[in-house]
Structure 1
């Protein structure tokens, strides 16, 4: 599908591609608007906090690009891409997206929820790092085998079930239902529409921008280091920024925390589960990718537990800085 989209877009003149980019940006923003609005409405209807909705339903929707890319890469015999996409997305989500969201708006932190979801987020990252260690596999490098992939998927199902139960039992939900204007089925359909618009427009937007940039004269290496690197995290970025601008910062944080968890349990789990040989861990991942993932997760954890109950602009700048340093090191340590 991606190859077909790319080939069709490549046949268009540059001016048409620029128009397509503009239309896709508009569609992406409208899809994110719908996604955020309906996620908030569902949280009111179901008696579930907005942060939990962000960490489960919204995160499942916005993590689909990573899952699709990683599973297809694993099936096509490219496990490096599958694992790199998942780890890179965690770094992008927590460093770039949370950092930018904090810089442009107010990011409140629900301590009860961040205690629970945040612990799972950090545990997931540590679990991924541990199972990637070479001594757990028979070869010279690490290997996340097929049965471990299925174990991750079981943990995913348990995570979603436990998260919803936590929210219901602790009474974290918003109780004001006066904002609810549509029947439940309509809200669910609108939520699905929002997810489809976000994912669909990003699938067209990324190659359109890439082709346009190359034609205009931007080096392809620069395009790969920027657009392709965070391309699969674009839905999370747009959703988080939209949520913050609408005054639902807790939904943005919930979405990213959930996305980090899902990048391990859903993305890596699915990619490993569909390959008999599992996912081999390249040696250079121990040098930069895995350490950066753990650093950004630990930094976010410390910031989220601060007494101010928010991710401040300074903290957002630090997270954003970690991401920028990570990008630079990727291309200076080649």
Structure 2
């Protein structure tokens, strides 16, 4: 997307044009997310596939595209720190910021079938990746890197996960969803969702979904570029722009789609999208980046060379452990409690604040 809409297009724009492009990108994001959510829920209804599984696979594959594009291009350009930081930072943003906001907005449903399957893949992939990084650093020190073999292995595991997700979807459809009564009421046949999809062909639904995804990606790209130029002109330090705007911006599609899903009474899409995006950020984004070129774990030119190991990975592990604890509770209650959003948001805010402090040291 950066090649189609390059940064230099925005560098010389007047203030008024930058503000206009920012406003228009927000409108495009909202409309794109609207179409994407309607399409995903419509296809799920037509095929009898649980929306949480659609969110964990199809929707998350689409909304993770910005992270993958940014990380692969950064890796090829020699900025491995940006590639790794963007992927892991997106896990923190997805589970901390997006899921935290979702919890505070509404009572999110807990589908035990999915949370005890895709949920464990989310937790396991993040923890195993962190373990691999620390083992490599212990063995090789400042020369440690994530090689292409690890990248290819991650992509193979990703393919296996997607294949298994299809099998789980079939099992889930046969067994029936394990959800709270409130969710069952929201998705009962004959409701607004049925009325929305009634009379619309699958071709129209798929077309709306693809168009919506493109609008989300284009809107996110324009918004990131516009806000980044505005921040630099206002004198905001580059490190702050990198650790907040870029990381937040690449997770913006998930945030917009998640909020739209809640507003349209499809909260299961948010839960599935966050879990699926976390898995894809580890297996897909880092896997594709490491397959393109080996990724050094230590930036020897940085003021804190091992910041990825001392900040990013610990923050990700804290988020994943908290998320897993909340899943245990949610599976018993049938839903995620609203207060779960507070500690998740606190970890995200703490991560951003520490990134700023350490970046200035």
Shorter chain as normaliser: what TM range?
over 0.9
- CA distance in 2 between counterparts of 1:220 and 1:73 reads 16
Q: What is the match of residue 280 of structure 1?
A: 296
Distance in 1, matches of 2:337 and 2:272, equals 16
Q: Hey, what does 1:13 align to over in structure 2? A: 14
1:16-165 alignment runs, 5 A limit = 16-135=17-136, 139-141=140-142, 142-165=144-167
Is 1:28–1:201's contact at 8 Å kept on the other side of the alignment?
A: yes
Q: Is structure 2 residue 327 aligned with structure 1 residue 327?
A: no
Q: CA deviation at 1:221?
A: 4.5
| Residue in 2 that maps onto 1:316 | 341
Q: Which region of structure 1 is more displaced relative to structure 2, 253-262 or 166-175?
A: 166-175
Q: CA RMSD in A?
A: 2.0
Map 1:281-296 → 2, pairs under 5 A: 281-282=297-298, 283-296=306-319
Per the alignment, residue 246 of structure 1 pairs with 264
Q: Distance in 2 between matches of 1:227 and 1:80?
A: 16
8 Å CA contact 1:31–1:193 kept in 2: the answer is yes
Question: Post-superposition shift, 1:46?
Answer: 2.1
Report if aligned partners of 2:53, 2:169 keep a CA contact under 8 Å in 1: yes
**Displacement of 1:132:** 1.0
Cα deviation digits, residues 87-111 of structure 1 (max 9, x gap):
1110111001111111122311111
Deviations 1:164-204 (A, max 9, x none): 21121232467848443311122111111111000011111
TM-score by length of 1: 0.93
Whole-Å separation in 1 of the counterparts to 2:44 and 2:118: 17
- Change in CA separation of 1:151 and 1:33 when aligned onto 2, cut-off 3 Å: same
Residues 22 and 135 of structure 1, relative CA distance in 2, 3 Å threshold: closer
Equivalent pair of 1:39/1:53 in contact (CA under 8 Å): yes
Displacement, 1:220? Answer: 4.5
Query: Are the equivalent residues in 1 in contact too, given 2:240–2:356 (CA < 8 A)?
Result: no
- Are the aligned partners of 1:134 and 1:143 in contact in 2 as well (CA < 8 Å)? no
Q: Which moved more, 1:183-192 or 1:280-289?
A: 280-289
* Alpha-carbon separation, structure 2, partners of 1:212 and 1:175: 46
Q: Is the 8 A contact 1:48 1:164 kept in 2?
A: no
Partner of 2:181: none
1:219 CA displacement:
4.9
User: Cα distance 1:12–1:331, how it changes in 2: closer, same or farther (>3 A)?
Assistant: closer
Deviates more, 1:169-178 or 1:110-119: 169-178
Match of 1:48, SS state, is coil
Aligned to 1:167: 169
SS at match of 1:247: coil
Q: Secondary structure at the match of 1:5?
A: coil
Does the residue aligned with 2:49 lie in a helix, a strand or coil? coil
Matched residue count: 332
**Separation in structure 2 between the aligned mates of residue 61 and residue 327 of structure 1, nearest angstrom:** 25
